[in-house]
Amino acid sequence: MTLLRGGMMKRFLALGFPIFFCFASPSHGGEYDVERNQMVNEVMADAAATASSSGTSALSPQVVAAMRKVERDRFVPGWLSSLAYLNRPLPIGHGQTISQPFIVALMTELMKVKAGDRVLEIGTGSGYQAAILGELAGSVYSIEIIEPLGNEAGERLKTLGYRNVKTRVGDGYYGWPEAAPFDAIMVTAAASHVPPPLLKQLKPGGRMVIPLGTQFMTQSLMLVEKKPDGSVATRQILPVRFVPLTGGH
């Protein structure tokens, strides 16, 4: 989950916004359809603008369709619903954020998820990224270390009908070994290195997308590819800012 840029939370407080983290009700019909489509158009423009560094000139039709379908306002606190379709991160409580839509789309695109794939996500947050992956993959396994967030996201995803997404509370550094191997792994928090347990759980031929770096230093979004012979290749994609990967490691 990307960090808030420019002190957004401080500005909310300074403007007198109450910081309540009650999430939006699942019972509305298309209230933000126009805003969501505009957000996706902005995300596509960002993908084109960063093509030289990301290596991704255009998002696939499948990723675009998922971004247009999943209602981001269901995954943010209710008091932020009207801001849900800005192309920026937003707070979700417990010091965490929902990632910028462009970053969500780019990380999803880099993993090249196909129908039937088994995907692992580290850092469920509010469940938005898991829902996007759930539109593309056969099965998604998502781990969140913060218990209230993990429990709420699990219930939210069930309510929204994502039966192919399984969630649990735990230390994502160690992955989900009993569900491995995975065709793709996404880490949505910054680590100082690629966790060896995750690399072990990645199938040969699989892809991992992970931000590497520390909280107060430059971080880089990295694409990690495990070759069919088990060797590993990495490629730096973009500079990013994410909350740190936490846990007992």
Active-site hit among 54, 99, 139, 142:
99
Our answer to whether residue 81 is catalytic in this structure is: no
Q: Are 133 and 104 in contact (CB under 8 A)?
A: no
Query: pLDDT of the chain along its 249 residues, tens only?
Result: 443 333 343 333 333 334 445 555 554 557 899 999 999 999 999 999 999 988 888 999 999 999 999 999 999 999 999 999 999 999 999 999 999 999 999 999 999 999 999 999 999 999 999 999 999 999 999 999 999 999 999 999 999 999 999 999 999 999 999 999 999 999 999 999 999 999 999 999 999 999 999 877 789 999 999 999 999 999 999 999 998 898 877
Q: pLDDT per residue over 165-220, tens digit each?
A: 999 999 999 999 999 999 999 999 999 999 999 999 999 999 999 999 987 778 99
Q: Quickly tell me which residue has 């290749």 as its tokens.
A: 233
Q: Are 53 and 237 in contact (CB under 8 A)?
A: yes
**pLDDT for position 13:** 35
Whole-number percent of the chain with pLDDT over 90:
80
Identify the CATH number of the domain defined by range 32-240: 3.40.50.150
For the record, the structure tokens of 205 come out as 């031929």
Helix (H) or strand (E) holding 210: strand 202-212
What CA–CA distance (Å, rounded) separates 192 from 11? 30
- Sorted by where each begins, the domain ranges of the chain are 32-240
